[in-house]
Amino acid sequence: MATLARKLRLHDYFALAFGTMIGTGWLVLMHDWLGRGGPLGAILGYAIGGIILLPVGYVYSQWVRRLPDAAGEAAYTAQVFPPIVSYFTGWMMLLAYFIVCPWEAVALGNLAAYVFPWLNSMELYRVGGQPVFLPRLLLGVVLTLFLAVLNYRGIRLSANFQKIMTSAVLLCFLMIVALSASRGTAVNFHPLFSTTPLISILLTLQIVPYFMTGFESAPKYAEESNPNFSDRSYLWAIALALGIGAFFYTMCIAAVTYAAPWQSLLGKRFATAIALESALKVHWPVTMIFTMALLGLFQCFNGNFAASTRLLFAYSRRGTIPAGFGMVHQKFQTPSVAVLGITVGTLGGLLLGDALLVPVTEVGSMASALGWLAACASFWIVDRRAGMRMVTGLGILVSLTLVLMKVLPVFPGHFSPAEWIAFGIWVVLGIALHWGRS
């Protein structure tokens, strides 16, 4: 059986996991975050989210040591649950990663049109009342094809690209925080919450799974680790990605609010850039922010693209979807057909335009939480040690709560009819692929 190239080390795993988490949400949807929770509600939502996900991350680090399989959650649940449960667990996690790809392709057009307004021309059609413009569509197509070629030709190329983007994003992030601290004021934080403190935090916590998805992507590359890579290093990669990712989001929210009154940013696209420009009275920080956003977009798109291809490849190899997706390129040792499959799916999602952005956040959040719940529940059955059961139990409780917050109407911000439809379409597609696997 053909195998994937084994070239990844700890810094590669961190870059792939962190890069999968950090994209352009901190710029494109900052107004939505502040509207949900207010500054302190949003900050606490992400901080609490990062902390409570640590037990889930620990379970993943233990699973990958026991079972280094690119199928991830599908392989873990297959140890204790019926095959159909294993398949749909994996299918939900594939949704969590894949759905980010068209999201970022659409976001590229949003970012570019802010700098070059002429891109908002040649309207082709509308989806959900949102126009789809030809120049922006073409930008998304070009980026998708670029990343497809990168991943088709080898994991080393993809990982090196990821490390460069991650380093540049963190450097720009530190500069933005420093600029905000030099000119802002704490008065801009008032009022601290958008509504009551608890509701503000819960509304933010609901979307944390979508924006924090990625820490558990490290096990998806378990079959591509360097032969000298220690399996204990998976825990370091996961913990670093979770910790630095949560810190990144909380500090971005704090920096934006410190720079400008947060209520003045509600309903405004690219609130992060507007806040910094308002505080500094010059335009050049906006250019830096958009440069950072583009780098973040590239790393997030690439990280989720790579993880999606590994999952699709692994499910095919397990015989749960058509076998063609499990082919490995003889020269590049990459899952070449899976790369082509994710490319086609991304281009299809890109056609939906801006109407894709907010609903995707909600659907992706629940898909991630479902995968985490299944991974923790299966490990609870496999490992009966008291200490591990305590940690695993916390992981089950956290992920189950995140799922219930999206499906139960008693919680504010639960699934809308449009989001249920999007979720249902993915389930039907999974059933069709599973039935057609022969």
How is residue 416 annotated by DSSP? P
Gap between the Cα atoms of 134 and 120, Å rounded:
8
pLDDT score of 111: 81
Gap between the Cα atoms of 369 and 310, Å rounded:
19
User: Tell me, what amino acid is at 309?
Assistant: T
pLDDT score of 331: 84
The average pLDDT across 398-409 equals: 86
Gap between the Cα atoms of 20 and 306, Å rounded:
9
Residue 438 has pLDDT above 60, yes or no: no
Question: What is the band of 212 on the pLDDT scale with cuts at 50, 70, 90?
Answer: confident
pLDDT score of 33: 92
How crowded is residue 43: how many other Cβ atoms within 10 Å of its Cβ? 23
The average pLDDT across 66-92 equals: 90
Domain borders along the chain are: 10-435
- The sign of the dihedral angle between the CA atoms of 251, 255, 256, 260 is positive
User: Tell me, what amino acid is at 150?
Assistant: L
pLDDT digits (tens, 9 = 90+) for 213-270: 888 888 888 888 888 888 888 999 999 999 999 999 999 999 999 988 999 888 887 8
pLDDT score of 314: 86
Residue showing tokens 């420009």: 277
pLDDT score of 358: 61
Q: Could you tell me which residue, 224 or 60, shows the higher pLDDT?
A: 60
Q: Of 72, 49, 81, 69, whose CA–CA distance to 380 is shortest?
A: 81
Architecture category of domain 10-435 in CATH? Up-down Bundle (1.20)
* Average pLDDT across the chain, whole number: 86
Residue 1 has pLDDT above 70, yes or no: no
Question: What is the band of 417 on the pLDDT scale with cuts at 50, 70, 90?
Answer: confident
Provide, rounded to the nearest whole percent, the portion of the chain with pLDDT above 70.
97
Q: Which of 62-66, 181-185, 317-321 has the highest mean pLDDT?
A: 62-66
Gap between the Cα atoms of 7 and 320, Å rounded:
27
Residue 167 has pLDDT above 90, yes or no: no
Residue 28 has pLDDT above 80, yes or no: no
Residue 42 has pLDDT above 90, yes or no: yes
Residue 105 has pLDDT above 70, yes or no: yes
Gap between the Cα atoms of 160 and 147, Å rounded:
13
User: What phi, psi does 124 have (nearest 5°)?
Assistant: -95, -45
Gap between the Cα atoms of 399 and 172, Å rounded:
32
pLDDT score of 360: 67
| pTM for this predicted structure | 0.83
pLDDT score of 108: 85
pLDDT digits (tens, 9 = 90+) for 350-395: 888 777 666 666 777 788 889 999 999 999 999 888 888 899 999 9
Buried b (16+ CB within 10 A) or exposed e, 375-401: bbbbbbebbeeeebeebbebbbebbbe
Residue 154 has pLDDT above 90, yes or no: no
pLDDT score of 222: 85
Report how far apart the first and last C-alpha atoms of the chain are (Å, whole number): 19
Q: Which of 43-47, 306-310, 327-331 has the highest mean pLDDT?
A: 43-47
